[in-house]
Amino acid sequence: MAQANRSIEIGTGLFVLLGFAALGFLTTQLPGSGLQIQRATQTYAVVAKFDDIGGLKVGAPVAMSGVRVGQVTAVVYDTAAYKAAVTLTIERQYDHIPDDSDAAIETSGLLGANFVAITPGGSDTFLHGGSELQFTQSAIVLENLVNKLFANFAGNKDSTGNKDSSGSKDSSGSKDASGSKGASDDKKGSGKTSK
């Protein structure tokens, strides 16, 4: 009788362990941004300030050339600068990012989640913990684009064309959207031709 009990206990133990292993696999290995078993990666944090972060969330990836190099770890409103201050935590192995790089909030796919894309600049000095990325580009907010479109139509009709009327948000501290990232700008053809 004791022997039968013993083998039952062992069998049950094995079963429970197997079940928990399966659960563990499902919860840690599977989800993309789930319980990552932190392989204690060294990181450093930098800040980037945006006029509009759109739908950017904490935990969103930070990518360079499409490769994930870190993630967004904090989003706060900077009352002094009247902008959103986003903390980007970058893996230490990527420590050769020029400090004049550009940080833009992009969308993965047409209607996907927001993430931060860093385009390297040409400086010889690199980002380190606590640096701030000077050049930022806010998220493309769909409503603004639509407004621009309407404004364009109105502007074309008038031919006095106040084409930049809705561009005021992007003014301070950011490059003109024209030559660089505005991929969706081009698609919309809101006629932000460079002057």
Give min distance, CB of 3 to other proteins, in A: 13
Q: How far is it, in rounded angstroms, from Cα 140 to Cα 105?
A: 8
Q: Which residues pair with 48 in a beta bridge?
A: 86, 133
- Identify the DSSP state of 80: T
Q: Where are the alpha helices (DSSP H) in the chain?
A: 2-24, 142-158, 183-188
Closer to other proteins by CB, 14 or 76: give it. 14
Give min distance, CB of 33 to other proteins, in A: 7
Closer to other proteins by CB, 15 or 77: give it. 15
- Nearest alpha carbon to residue 175 among 51, 46, 47: 51
> In the β-sheet with 43-50, what is the strand arrangement from edge to edge?
132-133, 43-50, 83-91, 67-78, 61-64, 114-119, 102-107, 135-137
Closer to other proteins by CB, 24 or 129: give it. 24
Closer to other proteins by CB, 18 or 74: give it. 18
Give min distance, CB of 11 to other proteins, in A: 5
Q: List C-alpha distances in Å: 101 to 122, 126, 170.
A: 8, 9, 18
Give min distance, CB of 103 to other proteins, in A: 22
Give min distance, CB of 6 to other proteins, in A: 11
- Which positions touch other proteins (CB under 8 A)? 1, 5, 8-9, 11-12, 14-16, 18-20, 22-23, 25-27, 29-35
Closer to other proteins by CB, 8 or 154: give it. 8
